[in-house]
């Protein structure tokens, strides 16, 4: 499987077939870019070609490698490239980066940076299987702990979200207020009718989460981590992890990494997964948390900060954003389910806080 081949939670590719002409263009692009590396390509496969982040599998006489065009601003791309190199050299299971002929970890072609990685073979994790779920959470903990000590080279900007959670909460609450105006313009739409009836309560809940966060150890923990931060993947999950031979847990696609509290990645893994069941699955919740803590234990105060963050209506926000920003024609039932999940989630988390 490709180092960056995106898959759904069912393990199926999200790619659409390319035309013969497009495939030829992308193959030609890869041939041009690969001149920057000391590689003899015997065969070039376009793995991901319908998105700006392009991926090729390059077959050489010494095995396969992965060529990728990173679809990020150059400064952000450099931060993640050097982070991946740091982790690989430290022994973390991330694809090692092959140096170009000029000794750099990348080459620039047009407006984008291109990188060549080791090709990783493995299978996606199946999160309905307890053993897989434990493996993927253990891999996240190992990623966080291994990343401590990374600092980008001079001239490469630091990307951090440390200390920015309060602003994120405020911004989202304001957006949910603003979207009421859009709902009022669609008075005959059942989704918008329900939104106007119910949303004020959840906006107030979001503001309450902010108050709780500021009264917790969030600020002191953030200040502490600024001296020796860990990376957060920001997009950790089944599409960006693989289980290799001998139960090796590989973490791939590090394009979005930044410094932040490690619990950000936990929240992004745990809360959306539990949202698929319609009820609060306490057993799965603790399987994930306990598996993570086998490699990276959290203090009671740190877990309290995580539970507070989990209270914020992120999943509800995403549904509403899909409706009013992306203009998706969502039914009323979609919003009803989102409201109910937030209620169920809050009832489960409040006793923990």
CA 220, distance to chain mean position in Å, is: 25
Q: Which residues pair with 108 in a beta bridge?
A: 113
57 touches 66 (CB < 8 A) = yes
Start-end of CATH 3.90.1200.10 domains in the chain: 130-349
Tell me the per-residue pLDDT of 12-35, one tens digit each, with 9 for 90 and over.
344 568 888 989 999 999 999 999
Start-end of CATH 3.30.200.20 domains in the chain: 20-118
Which CATH superfamily includes the segment(s) 20-118? Phosphorylase Kinase; domain 1 (3.30.200.20)
Predicted local confidence at residue 245, as pLDDT = 92
What is residue 129's DSSP assignment?
A: S
Tell me the per-residue pLDDT of 282-333, one tens digit each, with 9 for 90 and over.
999 999 999 999 999 999 999 999 999 999 999 999 999 999 999 999 999 9
36 touches 100 (CB < 8 A) = yes
In CATH terms, the fold of domain 130-349 is Aminoglycoside 3'-phosphotransferase; Chain: A, domain 2 (3.90.1200)
Tell me the per-residue pLDDT of 272-292, one tens digit each, with 9 for 90 and over.
999 876 779 999 999 999 999
Q: Is the pTM of this model over 0.85?
A: yes
What is residue 123's DSSP assignment?
A: B
Predicted local confidence at residue 288, as pLDDT = 98
Tell me the per-residue pLDDT of 74-104, one tens digit each, with 9 for 90 and over.
999 999 999 999 999 999 999 999 999 999 9
Predicted local confidence at residue 51, as pLDDT = 73
Element (H, E) at 132: helix 130-147
**Interhelix angle for 165-184 vs 314-324, to 10°?**
40
Tell me the per-residue pLDDT of 126-164, one tens digit each, with 9 for 90 and over.
999 999 999 999 999 999 999 999 999 999 999 999 999
- Token readout for 330 is 């969502």
Pairing of strands 55-60, 249-251: unpaired
Backbone φ, ψ for residue 45 (5° rounding) = -110, 130
Backbone φ, ψ for residue 152 (5° rounding) = -65, 155
**Sign of the CA dihedral running 218, 224, 227, 228:** negative
Predicted local confidence at residue 16, as pLDDT = 65
What is the C-alpha separation between 309 and 191, in angstroms, rounded?
26
Predicted local confidence at residue 52, as pLDDT = 75
The neighbour count for residue 125, using CB atoms within 10 Å, is 24
The neighbour count for residue 82, using CB atoms within 10 Å, is 18
**What band does 70 get if pLDDT is binned at 50, 70 and 90?**
very high
């Amino acid at each position: 499987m490709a180092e960056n081949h995106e898959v759904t939670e069912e393990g199926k590719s999200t790619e659409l077939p390319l035309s013969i002409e497009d495939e030829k263009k992308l193959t030609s692009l890869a041939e041009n870019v690969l001149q920057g590396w000391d590689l003899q390509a015997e065969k070039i496969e376009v793995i991901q070609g319908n998105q700006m982040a392009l991926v090729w599998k390059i077959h050489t006489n010494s095995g396969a490698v992965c060529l990728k065009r990173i679809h990020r601003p150059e400064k952000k791309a450099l931060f993640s490239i050097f982070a991946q190199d740091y982790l690989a050299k430290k022994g973390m299971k991330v694809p090692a980066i092959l140096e170009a002929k000029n000794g750099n970890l990348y080459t620039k072609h047009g407006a984008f940076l291109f990188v060549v990685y080791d090709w990783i073979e493995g299978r996606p994790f199946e999160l309905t299987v307890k053993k897989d779920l434990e493996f993927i959470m253990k891999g996240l903990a190992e990623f966080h702990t291994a990343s401590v000590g990374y600092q980008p080279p001079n001239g490469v900007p630091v990307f951090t979200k440390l200390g920015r959670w309060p602003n994120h909460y405020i911004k989202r609450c304001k957006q949910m207020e603003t979207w009421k105006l859009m709902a009022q313009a669609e008075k005959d739409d059942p989704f918008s009718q329900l939104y106007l009836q119910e949303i004020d309560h959840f906006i107030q809940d979001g503001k309450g989460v902010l108050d709780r966060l500021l009264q917790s150890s969030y600020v002191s923990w953030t200040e502490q981590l600024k001296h020796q931060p860990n990376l957060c993947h920001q997009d950790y999950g089944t599409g960006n992890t693989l289980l290799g031979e001998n139960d090796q847990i590989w973490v791939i696609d590090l394009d979005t990494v930044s410094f932040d509290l490690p619990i950000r990645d936990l929240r992004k893994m745990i809360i959306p997964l539990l949202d698929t069941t319609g009820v609060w699955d306490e057993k799965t919740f603790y399987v994930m948390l306990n598996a993570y803590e086998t490699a990276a234990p959290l203090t009671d105060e740190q877990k309290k900060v995580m539970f507070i963050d989990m209270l914020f209506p992120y999943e509800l926000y995403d549904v509403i954003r899909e409706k009013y920003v992306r203009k998706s024609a969502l039914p009323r039932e979609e919003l009803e389910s989102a409201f109910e999940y937030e209620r169920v989630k809050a009832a489960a988390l409040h006793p923990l806080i």
